[in-house]
């Protein structure tokens, strides 16, 4: 993924400031481009099957989100499997959210105006974090789920494309949740949680993505509980296309849509 950044993502948008910080032991990268004294914050969980990906692979997407929204983007370099399987990634994001509430203003951020976002495997981390924050009495402004992996049932459509294969996704789940981990729990299957009262959602899917159907089912699941949802399927494109800004013009369109939805909340 790192080697392919130049070809798939490109050089990345110039933004006002990029800072690497330590959030109570969790590495994070803070992007800021707007003029607000204390902007809202997007806590971002990168994709990569809970195994791959890092701050470098998602730098271009986070830069564009910061530039298009005017919000700060706080990207989380959470621990990954197989060295650190479930629940390590969730623990790290919980730590970052807690750090943000305590120290956000010291870094020029508004800790009371926070959204959570993630792509692919990071979409699960974002969706579950939205529920965990709700349960802890810490309301979020929004959840942004980009081509998210949301069900360990892995009931995938037969699309015959090379963006993401069912066997590849099964291997990711096995590394993230090794034998002995009960996958029948809300932290791994958000369909098992009560969706009432969750923050508004933006769900982006791709026609040729095996994760398409479960993500769209989750959007309907949220909407059925009265959660405001914007769900868009981009036709003719592939898994996690919004990160691959150099490969498709749909990427910038998806980010612009996400940005418009977030700006409407503030």
CATH at residue 82 = 3.40.50.1820
Per the listing, tokens 């498709």 go with: 248
Judged on CB neighbours under 10 Å (0-12, 13-18, 19+), 37 is: exposed
Known catalytic residues are 120
- pTM (two decimals): 0.98
Relative to beta strand 201-206, strand 114-119 is: unpaired
Question: CB–CB of 81/124 below 8 Å?
Answer: no
Which pLDDT score is estimated for 159?
A: 86
Which pLDDT score is estimated for 163?
A: 84
How many domains, in total, are found in the chain? Answer: 1
Question: CB–CB of 175/167 below 8 Å?
Answer: no
pLDDT averaged per 10 residues, the chain (length 266): 96 96 98 94 98 98 98 98 98 98 98 98 98 96 98 92 90 97 98 98 97 98 98 96 97 98 92
| Domain span at 48 | 5-263
């Amino acid at each position: 993924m790192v080697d392919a950044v130049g070809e798939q993502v490109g050089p990345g948008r110039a933004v006002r400031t990029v800072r690497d910080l330590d959030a109570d032991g969790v590495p994070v990268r803070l992007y800021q481009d707007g003029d607000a004294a204390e902007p809202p914050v997007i806590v971002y969980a990168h994709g990569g099957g809970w195994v791959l990906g890092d701050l470098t692979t998602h730098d271009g997407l986070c830069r564009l989100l910061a530039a298009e929204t005017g919000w700060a983007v706080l990207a989380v370099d959470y621990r990954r499997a197989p060295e650190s399987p479930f629940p390590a990634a969730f623990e790290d994001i919980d730590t970052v959210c807690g750090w943000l509430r305590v120290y956000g203003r010291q870094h020029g951020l508004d800790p009371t105006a926070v959204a959570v976002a993630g792509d692919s495997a990071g979409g699960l981390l974002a969706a579950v974090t939205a529920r965990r924050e709700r349960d802890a009495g810490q309301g979020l402004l929004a959840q942004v789920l980009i081509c998210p992996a949301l069900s360990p049932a892995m009931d995938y459509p037969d699309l015959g494309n090379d963006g993401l294969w069912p066997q590849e996704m099964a291997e990711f789940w096995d590394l993230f949740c090794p034998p002995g981990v009960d996958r029948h729990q809300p932290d791994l299957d958000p369909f098992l949680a009560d969706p009432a009262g969750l923050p508004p959602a933006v769900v982006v899917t791709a026609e040729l993505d095996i994760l398409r159907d479960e993500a769209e089912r989750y959007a309907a699941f949220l909407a059925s509980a009265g959660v405001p949802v914007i769900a868009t399927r981009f036709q003719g494109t592939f898994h996690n296309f919004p990160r691959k800004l150099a490969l498709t013009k749909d990427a910038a369109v998806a980010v612009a849509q996400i940005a418009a939805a977030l700006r409407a909340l503030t």
